Amino acid sequence: MQSKEILTLEKGNFSLKATLECGQTFRYRRRDDGYEVMSRDKRCFIAERDEKIYLESSDAAYFYNYFDFDGDYETAEARLKEFPELTAAVSETGGIHILRQDLFETIISFIISANNNIPRISGIIERLCDRYGRKEEGYSCFPTPQELSLVTAEDYFALGAGYRDKYLHKTVKTLLESDMLSRLPALGYEDSVRELLKLSGVGRKVADCISLFALHHTCCYPVDVWILKTDGAEGDTVADVRNRGMARYGKYAGLAQQYRYYYARVNNGTNG
DNA sequence: TTCCAGGAGGGGG
DNA sequence: CCCCCTCATGGA
């Protein structure tokens, strides 16, 4: 039995619900009064109680960093509210933090995310963990690259990954045979994207998501079908929308994109 | 039944 | 650079 650490923080304007449900992570479960969140080989229970954040884990420090509680989101939100197109989204939602997620886990998860929907993505990832990850009390760890070294494309297909099976197999092989995982965290945004694009199943959008959610390059603006619909004008390409977003929001582009994505989906009734 | 989802790869022009 | 097609799957 592992010892549990309990952390209590001022809630401030942090929104647990929006941070977890805005589509940056797929490994959480709603509980009666909070959330169970898994990352890497760790798990926490987190809840909002009486204007405080209650965090319980065998490694609370890991999740303190994971939720980016040291980040200055007051300044970021004040800045974003100045943009007319974001005022409503930031005011009505508010409190989204950009998570600091595990690199390998984020690469695999967002390869699975391509042309897919969130419930199905979560299911595939859960089965991946259950089948190949180490077992802890009450949950399965995300598998390490080594634990996936003998997994075949057919195995990924059997998980329900569909045509992404070959991408996953090739990318795990590439990561095992190169030092990319250890080199990526030291690179800047443009260099990290250039490296990530070498991986099978990683295009510009997925590379941007990995850069934002694992490498914390907050200047990037991932463009998916939702962002293109709500942000794009007639005739705009994905590249047009991305470049405009990055130029307009600067180092807050990633947070701006999360607000637009979450707000668009909530208003569409897709986030339930 | 058809359409869609946090798109990418591959081919061709 | 561009546009085109195809790729599993499950829910609406």
Q: Which nt is closest to the CA of A161, judged by C1'?
A: C8
Q: State the pLDDT at residue A172.
A: 98
Q: Which nt is closest to the CA of A158, judged by C1'?
A: C8
Tell me: the pLDDT tens digits for A53-98? 999 999 999 999 999 999 999 999 999 999 999 999 999 999 999 9
Lowest mean pLDDT among A16-30, A126-140, A227-241: A227-241
**Phi-psi group of A114: left, alpha or beta (phi > 0 → left; psi -120 to 50 → alpha; rest → beta):** beta
Evaluate if the CB of A122 falls below 7 Å from strand B: no
Q: State the pLDDT at residue A111.
A: 98
A187 contacts: CB under 8 Å, gap ≥ 6: A195, A215
* A272 compared with A113, residue with greater pLDDT: A113
Q: Return mean pLDDT, chain A.
A: 96
Say yes or no to pLDDT of A272 above 80.
no
Strand B, nucleotides covered by protein (CB < 7 Å): 4-9
Nearest residue (CA) to C1' of C6: A163
Strand C, nucleotides covered by protein (CB < 7 Å): 2-3, 7-11
- Return the ∠ at Cα A168 (arms to A163 and A171), rounded to 5°: 135
Q: State the pLDDT at residue A2.
A: 65
Protein CA at A116 to nucleotide C1' at B1, angstroms: 20
Catalytic residue among A11, A205, A229, A251: A205
Tell me: the pLDDT tens digits for A164-180? 999 999 999 999 999 99
Say yes or no to pLDDT of A268 above 60.
yes
Q: State the pLDDT at residue A225.
A: 87
The reply to whether A205 belongs to the active site is yes
- CB of A29 within 8 A of CB of A109? no
Q: What distance in Å separates the CA atoms of residue A116 and residue A6, rounded to the nearest whole number?
A: 36
